[in-house]
Every structure is written in C-alpha cells, then in structure tokens.
A and B are shown apart, each in its own frame.
Chain A
Amino acid sequence: MTTTAADVSAGLAPAPSTKSRSGPGKWQPWLFLFPFLIPFVLFYVAPIAYAFYQSLFKIERTGGIFGKPSQVFAGLSQYASVFSDQDFRASILRVLVFGIVQIPVMLLISLGLALLLDSTLVYFKRFLRISFFVPYGVPGVIAAIMWGFIYSPNLSPIVALLNKLNISIDFLGTHVVLWSIANVVTWTYAGYNMLIIYSALLSIPQEIFEAARLDGASNWDIARRIKIPSVAPALVLTGVFSIIGTLQLFTEAKVFTNISTAITSSYTPNLVVLAKAQNNYNQSAALSVTLAVGTFILSFLFLKLTNRRAGA
C-alpha cells in the first residue's frame, strides 16, 4: 500500500528536473529566483537575524528609576528567562492541546469534503468547491468578529435558541473558549486544506480507478485503498501548515479578548510576545526566536515521523 503512495508522489514530482540541475547551467535557477530572494532576504531573513541579535542584549540603567537606559550584551540570559517564563510555557501547552485536537478534526473534515467532491455522488461540484473555500477568503479578524457575535451570550440567536431548549452553554467561558476558537479556525481553514487535498485527488491517473473497478472495488474501497494513500503527501503538507498555524495562533484569540473574559494576555505564545514587546524589546525578541525555532522543530519532527511511516 505504501509503495503505491510513494510511486504516485514520485510520478508527480517530475524526476528529470533533479538531473538537469548538474552541469554548466547551475547558476541559472538563481537568476530566476532573484526577484523572490531579494525581498525574502530583506523582509524575512533580515528581521529574523535582527530579532536574534536583539535577543542577545539586555537593558542596564544608571542613576535610579528614570536613569539613562543602555543596551549591554547579555549572552543567552534572555533565553534563560524565556524558559523560566511560566506564562509562556502555559501558552505553549495550551496551543499544543489545541492543535492535538483541532488539526486532526480539521484535516478529517477537509479530507472528507475532498473525497465527496471527487466522488461521483455529488452534483454542483464547482459551486460546492467554491462554497467550501469561501470561508478562507474571509479575513481572520472578520471571521473572529462574526463568530464572536454568534457566541455572544446576549446577542446570539443560536445561544437564544439553545436557551429555549434549556441548554445553557457559555461559548466564551473559561473552559469552552479554546474550543470556540478551534471551531473558528476549523471553519476558516478546512476549505483551504480541502482544496490542496482535492487537487492531489484530481491528479491521480484515472486508469487506476478503472482497473480497480474492473477488479470489483466499490467506491468505498477505492477511497480507502487508493485515494487516501495517494493523498498522504498532501495531508502531510496540510498538517505542517496547520502545525505552524497553530503555534502562531493569534488573530482569533486577540479579537476574542474584547468579548471574552476568559482570554488572558498570555493566552497564546504570540500574545505573550506582543505583551512583552510593550516594555522589553530584548525579551520579546528572545521569545519570538524561541517560538520560531520551536515551530521549526515541531514541523520537522512531524515530517520525519510521517516520512518514516511512508518509507516503512
């Protein structure tokens, strides 16, 4: 089964390109990459390098409370305080719990929607494809505000309806709000991930299905034994995107601080960074770098893990 997946993906990533890289034209790709590389270095690499540089300093002050502050080299001491920062640790733990639940749920929904669209069962495919994708087109802030109204205990028609049915649930309460946010995130990105998985499905050669049908495979068999394994790389890709997105969780939580009393200033790692940036550049730089490295490690581990499985 796994060999099928590997074969399919190998067929999709055009093999010849790797061969043509050797030889005299080695520099040519760089020429084409130039327009991308310049802004990438200027606006991505440089700020990261600057943040790292800033994180190596701390403030010193001479002459009492309002004495003149100066930056002195402090080595990795900012990082020491990052790791002893309980709020930061708690926020990381919170988004990890969030991700462990939200990412699989979202990807299952995305996969389900993609399979539905790809099946012969559904009509109005183009319309549905767009409808599934539309939420992704709604800016995160707007989505959060919109859902905020739906969650609001006093304004929401849904809460009012639930109240009539004698169900009282505070979507913005301490224990529920994290999952209310998860719902917003799922709503926003399920369609986006669906599109990636769906495109992977479209690129499976039709002959495989014909062969499978001739062998007597049902729709369900085809989905389970051919389609899902074939889109495994797409699922890995969307998984990585989602892990990165989860650790960077910010917009929804930030917007919800205005309507929920349950979201603290250190609810997600990015909120911690933001709060620190008000008074302490160096520490917030160290927090950012730590978060970036953490995100990288987690995505890397995820890739290694899924890679090993695919290769086994």
Chain B
Amino acid sequence: MKIALHSRRAIALLGIGAMTLGVAACGSSSDSAATPAASSSAAPAASSSSSAAATSADSSSAAPAETSSSAAESAAPAGDAVNLTFSTWVPGMDKVVDLWNAKNPKIQVKVSITPNGGSGTYQNFLNGVKAGTAPDLGQIEYDSLANFRVQDALEDISAVPGVKEAKDSFIPWTWGQVDFAGSGGVYAIPQDAGPMAMFYRKDIFDGLGLKPPTTWAEYAEAAAKINAADPTHYITHFSQGDPNWYTGLLWQAGAKLFDNSGDGVKVNLDSDPKAAEVNSYWQDLISKKLVATNLQGFSPELYKAWDDGSIATWISAAWGYSTIRDNAPAGAGKWAVAPMPQWTAGGNAAGNWGGSSTAVLKGSKHVAEAAQFAIWLNTDPEALTMGNKLGGLYPAAVAGAELPALKEGVAFYGDQKIFDVFNEASKGVDASFQWGPTMTDTYNAIKDGVAATLGGTSTLADAFKLAQEKTVASLEAQAIPVVK
C-alpha cells in the first residue's frame, strides 16, 4: 500500500514536471520559441533532422588526432612498417588480411568489417574523405565508383608500378569499370563480379513439361503457362527495391544508360532503344499479371515463395547461389542454373549485378603500398580462394575461374557445376557499360517509378522518363556538365 502511494506521488511529480514544461510552452512567445527545439530531443519520434551534419561535425572534430598520427608515420624512418587501414563488408576478410600481414611485415593492414556500402559505409567514406579520416582502402561497388570519382574521393593509382600491368589479370569488363572504359587513370582494383544467369526450379518446369527458356520470348511463354496452371504461381517476382537488378537486365540487352566519355555525361535512360525494348517486355508481363508484383527482393516473403514453389525462377548473379541456398532450404536439389534467356536466339549475352572493387581513398598517405595490397588481395590465388570460401566472392580475376571451389558441383543444386554457367556468362558481359556519377539518385528514381508501375499507376517507360529527369537535375545540382 505504501509503495503504491509512493509511486503514485512519483507519477504526480512527473506530471508536474511535464505540466510545467507544457505551461512554459504556453507562455510568452520568447519562451515557446525555445521550447520546441529543446523538447524535440525528448519527443517520441524525434530523429535529429541534422544527423548528416552531425556526423560530419563529429568526424571533423576527430580529424586532427588521426592526421597527426599518420603524419608521424610518413615522417618515420623508411625502415619502419607502413600501417594501412582497410574497410570492407566481405565476411572473413580479416583472415585474408592476416595472411598478407604475415607475409609483409613492412606493410601492415588493419581491416574493419563494416555494413555494406548502401547501408551507410559509402556515406562514412565520403564524410571521412572530407574530414581527412577515411581509411586508406575501401570496398566500393562498380556502380558507385563514378559517384566517388565526381566527389573527388578516389586516388588515381595508375602510376603505381604493377597497376597497369594488372589489367590482363582481370575479366575485361571488370577492368573497364575501374579505368572508366580506358578514359585515363585507374581508380580501383576489381574484386568480385556478379555475372548473371537464371536460377530455376527444375521440378516445376519438369512438372509442367517445360524446358528452361533460352530466349526471352520462351520465358514469356513459360510465364503464361506457369500462371495458367496455378494463378498463385509466377515465373518470377519483379523486384522494386533492386534497381541494380533491373539495370543488369538492361546491361544484357546492350543498353547504354550513360556515356561519360565526352565533355559531359550523356544520360540515355529514356532514349536508349534497347532499354525501351526491355521496358516494354517487362511492362507486358507486369500488365498481364504474369509476374509477382508484391514481393520485395531479399524479403522473408520472397524466401517463402521460393520454398513453396510459387516463384519458379530468379535471374540473378553468381553470388545469388548462396542467397537461395541459405534462405530457401526446402528447395535443396530442386534448383538448377541455366544461362540468362537471350534476346536473339543462340546469343551469349549476360548482364551483371553487383560486384565490387578495392579502391584507394583520397588522402591516403601510402597510395603505392595500398595499391600493392589491393592487387595482391584480388589476384593472389591463396587470397582469392579464401575470399571465395569465407566471403562467397566470385572473383573478378581471370585466375578465379580456376579456383577449385568454383569447379566443383554444388550439392544444393543437385551437384550441378553451376559456376561453369557463370564463367561462361562472365565472358558475355558487355565491357563498355558505364554508370552515371549520381547513381544513388538514379536508382531512387527508378525504384520510385517501378513502385508506381507495380502499383498500377505508371509504366516502366514513365519510370525511366522520371529517372532521366531526376538524374539530369541531380547532375546539374552537382555542377556536372550534362550533354543533352
């Protein structure tokens, strides 16, 4: 009873506190001018609207200590070890780096495992470059490299001995991504690639007497048959949240979304004829409701649909094999991999989805050593094997195709040697494909447009018209010349 009375008083006190605040807020205008700002930190959903500014302010305050220490390092006698920092989100990368550290006592690398680029790491890199606290090396996906370059956040490593020579060690299109199709300079070392193929449920295709489609026309026919057999079953889901998946499909078709080779960026999002073809193909499937439109990529709903067989294919990248294996275990032995359906029968064109590079970030005090490490990391057979085993990387190095792990059959796929398919696909990826320098904005616009398309209020063609407008606006806001 006493305790109850006590807590009752405490609550009353709390009430008085709250009320005083309320009364103060109701008071004179100068009082209330201060109150909303002060109370917003206590407000329910108050996430600071200036968080971006806060982070950069934070990191700039940390800057002096960091720079002074690395300045001390570079001033140290040449006999001392060089210390490098490396940020990556590949699991197991610390083990690979241990191997390097054991072999190279003079160049010691400290690795930090971060969330993937889009989840904040890119923002941290860019903030760090501004504040002078960025790591020496960072993992950057190909589609973001141009963005990092326009923000002046990458070191040109082409002058470092061994870098230009490394070109032949890599799958040609991956090198095209880091030297910007030979436009002068090298801005990163390719790490992994995401050549695309078709994952499909063999049991479902067999059950309906269907062969895995080899052309997109056959794919559309199969889509109709699968849906006709059971209206809750679809050939695939059309992902709204993965615009880079869709650009992979456009890449396969030979679309050239951007051209960075001239004096300005040429944006072809709404004018490329190949892209228009792909758009109208998928628009047709969406309009006829032959693809699932309410499933987000990498969502529990999708995994369930894979498991219960209501989604029969996934056009995805080499790294996608583990996505299905780990999230839809009921499909063990039922999935298989075939090349991407082709636009022209007998072709071997493939798209690419994802893949990343190891870049030396602007401001590194040891560019040469960092570049040396990046080359080793992505070409040394031992490092590649570990990266593949521990991190699931599909290497960008040509030698990667010879890795034992990539020559074996994969149990989940009925012991099919699925990487043979991806090796072939890798050869069919167009090397001249380029990304825009403000890709996050472009992706956002495509995502939004696709969302409206899937909601039935827009079309893919409109989505790309919107993406064109927004991309041009965002380029202009960055003072990047646009060729019209």
Residues of A bordering B, CB below 8 Å: 9-10, 12-14, 40, 43-44, 46-48, 50-51, 54, 58-61, 64-66, 68-69, 81, 126, 136, 140, 149, 152-155, 170, 172-174, 185, 188-189, 192, 195-196, 198-203, 233-234, 236-237, 240-242, 244-246, 248-251, 257-266, 270, 273-275, 277-281, 283-285, 288-289, 291-292, 295-296, 299-300, 303, 306-307, 310
Residues of A within 8 A of B300 (CB): 149, 152, 155
Closest to A283 in B: B477
Contacts of A44 in B (CB 8 A): 37, 41, 48
Complex-state Cα separation, A297 to B402, whole angstroms: 65
Pair A12/B23 contact, Cβ less than 8 Å? yes
Quick one: which of B14, B20, B150, B296 contacts A13, CB cutoff 8 A? Answer: B20
CB pair A65 B26 closer than 8 Å: no
Q: CA A253 – CA B57 in complex, angstroms?
A: 27
B113: Cβ under 8 A from any A Cβ: no
**Once the chains bind, are A245 and B44 in contact (CB under 8 Å)?**
yes
Q: Interface segment, B4-12, B66-74, B205-213, B369-377? A: B4-12
A-B contacts, 29 listed (Cβ < 8 Å):
A9-B19, A13-B20, A44-B41, A47-B50, A51-B50, A54-B53, A58-B477, A81-B477, A136-B44, A152-B300, A172-B294, A174-B457, A189-B44, A189-B45, A198-B11, A200-B19, A202-B11, A251-B45, A251-B47, A261-B296, A263-B451, A265-B448, A273-B49, A277-B52, A278-B122, A278-B440, A279-B440, A280-B478, A295-B36
Q: Does B408 contact A (CB under 8 A)?
A: no
User: Which residues of chain B (35-63) have a CB below 8 Å from chain A?
Assistant: 35-50, 52-54, 56-57
Q: A258 contacts B296, CB within 8 Å?
A: yes
Residues from 444 to 483 in B contacting A, C-beta threshold 8 Å: 444-445, 447-448, 450-452, 454-455, 457, 474, 477-481
Q: Contacts of A152 on B, CB cut-off 8 Å?
A: 300-301
Having A59-B478, A188-B44, A262-B455, one finds 16 other A-B pairs with CB under 8 Å, namely A12-B20, A13-B24, A64-B481, A66-B150, A196-B15, A234-B22, A241-B42, A244-B40, A244-B45, A251-B45, A261-B454, A270-B47, A273-B49, A277-B123, A278-B122, A292-B49
Q: How far is the CA of A300 from the CA of B31 in the complex (A)?
A: 11
Contact of A265 among B8, B305, B437, B447 (CB under 8 A): B447
When the two chains form their complex, are residues B36 and A244 in contact, meaning their CB atoms are under 8 A apart? Answer: yes
Contact B47 A310 (CB under 8 A): no
B45 near A259 with CB under 8 A, answer no
B293 & A261 in contact (Cβ 8 Å cutoff):
yes
Taking the complex as formed, is B240 at the interface, i.e. its CB lies under 8 A from any CB of chain A? Answer: yes
Q: Is B81 an interface residue (CB 8 A)?
A: no
User: CA of A172 to CA of B294 in the docked complex: distance in angstroms?
Assistant: 9
A241 contacts B39, CB within 8 Å?
Answer: yes
Q: Which 8 A-B residue pairs are closest in the complex by CB-CB distance? A: A199-B15, A237-B22, A245-B45, A51-B53, A265-B444, A264-B448, A278-B440, A47-B54
The winner among A188, A234, A237, A270 for most chain B CB atoms within 10 A is A237
Q: Are A236 and B22 in contact (CB under 8 A)?
A: yes
C-alpha gap A295/B445 in the complex (Å): 27
Whether the Cβ atoms of A285 and B52 lie closer than 8 Å is yes
Kindly state the separation between the CA atoms of A284 and B53 in the bound complex, as whole angstroms. 9
Q: In the complex, what residue of chain A is closest to B445 when comparing beta carbons?
A: A265
User: How distant is the Cα of A299 from the Cα of B455 in the complex, in angstroms?
Assistant: 35
| A296 to B: closest C-beta gap in Å | 5
- B43 and A280 form a contact (CB under 8 A): no
Name the distance in Å between A268's Cβ and chain B's nearest Cβ.
10
Find chain A residues with CB under 8 A from B44 CB. Answer: 136, 188-189, 192, 241-242, 245
Alpha-carbon distance A295/B47, docked complex (angstroms): 13
Complex CA gap A155/B294 in Å reads 12
Do B11 and A258 touch (CB < 8 A)? no
**CB within 8 A of B11: which of A12, A199, A274, A300?**
A199
Question: What is the CA–CA distance of A64 and B180 in the complex, to the nearest angstrom?
Answer: 14
B149 at the interface (CB under 8 A from A): yes
Partner of A279, one of B25, B299, B441: B441
A46 to B155: give the CA distance in the assembly, Å.
32
Complex interface: chain A residues within 8 A of B301 (CB): 152-155, 259
Chain B residues contacting A58 (CB-CB under 8 Å) are 477, 479
CA separation between A289 and B300, bound complex, in Å? 37
Residue A237 contacts which of B18, B53, B438 (CB distance < 8 angstroms)? B18
Q: Are B14 and A248 in contact (CB-based, < 8 A)?
A: no
Chain A residues with CB under 8 Å of B33's CB are 300
Interface status of B168 (Cβ within 8 A of chain A): no
Which of B247-255, B258-266, B378-386 makes up part of the contact surface? B258-266
Interface residues in B125-160 (C-beta closer than 8 Å to A): 147, 149-152
A203 contacts B241, CB within 8 Å?
A: no
Interface presence of B16 (CB below 8 A): yes
